[in-house]
């Protein structure tokens, strides 16, 4: 059964909240980098899931960008570049705020 946008946003809500908190923390403290990397990989797995059942709109428009951004975040964290990972997450053009726009109106978004 194909996933709807609401289901996808529900699956992403907790991992994104965790990634947001950890990204901020790891930007200033190296102790959180392993947890941040694990959270980023969880988000990456969900973003890589099939989108064929999701209706066109803001989420689908952003997914290719989101996949690139999370991949770049994982790479930055793997090389220890916490600041770059945080910059990518919060980027005003391509960052995860666009996911929030795509999931707007669903519980927790």
* pLDDT score, position 64: 97
The residue among 44, 43, 63 whose CA lies nearest residue 54 is 63
Is pLDDT larger for residue 107 or for residue 2?
A: 107
- Any domain includes 108: no
Q: Is residue 1 scored above 70 in pLDDT?
A: no
pLDDT band at 30 (very low <50, low <70, confident <90, very high): confident
- Any domain includes 36: yes
- Any domain includes 107: no
- Any domain includes 21: yes
Burial 62-81 (b: 16+ CB within 10 A, else e): bbeebeebbebbbebbeeee
Please state the domain count of the chain.
1
Q: In the predicted model, what is the mean pLDDT of residues 85-104?
A: 94
* pLDDT score, position 27: 67
Name residues whose C-beta falls within 8 Å of residue 77's C-beta, 6 or more positions apart in sequence.
26, 33, 36, 37, 40, 85
- Any domain includes 109: no
As a whole number, the mean pLDDT across the chain is 92
- Any domain includes 37: yes
Domain of 59?
5-102
């Amino acid at each position: 059964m194909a996933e709807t946008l609401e289901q996808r946003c529900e699956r992403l809500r907790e991992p994104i909240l965790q990634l947001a908190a950890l990204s901020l923390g790891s930007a200033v403290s190296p102790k959180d980098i392993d947890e941040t990397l694990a959270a980023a990989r969880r988000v990456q797995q969900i973003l890589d899931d099939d989108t064929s059942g999701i209706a066109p709109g803001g989420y689908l428009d952003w997914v290719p960008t989101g996949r690139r951004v999370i991949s770049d975040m994982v790479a930055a964290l793997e090389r220890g570049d916490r600041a770059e990972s945080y910059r990518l997450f919060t980027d005003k053009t391509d960052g995860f705020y666009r996911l929030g726009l795509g999931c707007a109106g669903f519980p927790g978004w």
